[in-house]
Each structure stands twice: as C-alpha cells, then as structure tokens.
Amino acid sequence: MKGNFMILSTAFLLGTLAIPPEVEARGRGVYCVFHWEDNPSLNIRGGDVKMTKSVQKDVYESLLEAGTVKALLTLKYGGERCQYTHPKSQYFHRYFTPDYYGFKLNSKGRNPTCAEINMTVTCHSVL
C-alpha cells in the first residue's frame, strides 16, 4: 500500500512539473538566415547572414509559418546604410553598407545600391 502511494505521489508531482506547451514555446529560439544571390550584371556577390534570438510564442509561430519571404528594405542615415528586416518581426534585422567590399564581385566595379540587393529571409526553430 505504501509503495503504491509513493508511486502515485511521484507521478502526480512529475505531472505538475510538466511545462504547458504555451509556456514552453515562450522562450524558444529562432534562427533566421538573410540570403541574397550572386548577380554579376550588378556586381553583387551572394551571401548569407545568420542570427539567433529567443522570441515569444506568437512571434515564434508567425516566423516559422512565413517560410522564405522577401526582406523589407529601409534606408538609414540618408541612404548610407541599408536595413533589411523580416516582415513578421522587427527583432530580426541587419544593417548593411552598400559599398561594403563583401557585396562586390569585382572590387573595382560599381557599388550596388540597397534596392539591387534582393534579400530573402528564412527562419527555423533552434530545437
């Protein structure tokens, strides 16, 4: 009888320690990859930039459901910097300078503009 009571009480305690899915998802990590393709005619070298953050449940779900989307472009500092943002979350953004050598296929060629760098962003769960 005592053994059964201990088993039942242990099972009850473990059951109450289980974390509900809503709370569990609240701090889930998401990593997003900003990607752009090579475009030799515009002197653009392709690349990827990855970032990881913890987000709340509603943001987590919307980022994963969005799949691959076109990143939103905002010009900052009078057009000197490009800010690319995930359309579902302002937390995921990156600044780029269009004349940065990493974007150029030919270092002596023309500088690409922010609008010419067609960037997409895809988010995945860290789990």
Average pLDDT over residues 105-116: 87
Report pLDDT digits (tens) over 43-99: 999 999 999 999 998 999 999 999 999 999 998 887 778 999 999 998 899 888 877
Question: pTM for this one?
Answer: 0.73
Q: Which CA distances in Å does 82 have to 17, 22, 107?
A: 46, 36, 19
Token readout for 84 is 């690319």
What CA–CA distance (Å, rounded) separates 47 from 102?
9
Residue type, 43: N
Tokens 């990607």 — which residue?
Answer: 35
Three-state DSSP at 106 gives coil
List the strands of the sheet with 69-70, edge to edge. Answer: 47-54, 29-36, 119-125, 69-70
Distance separating alpha carbons of residues 111 and 44, to the nearest angstrom:
8
Q: Render pLDDT for 5-21 as a digit per residue (tens, 0 to 9).
A: 556 566 555 454 444 44
Retrieve residue 2's tokens: 């005592």
Q: For residue 16, what pLDDT is reported?
A: 46
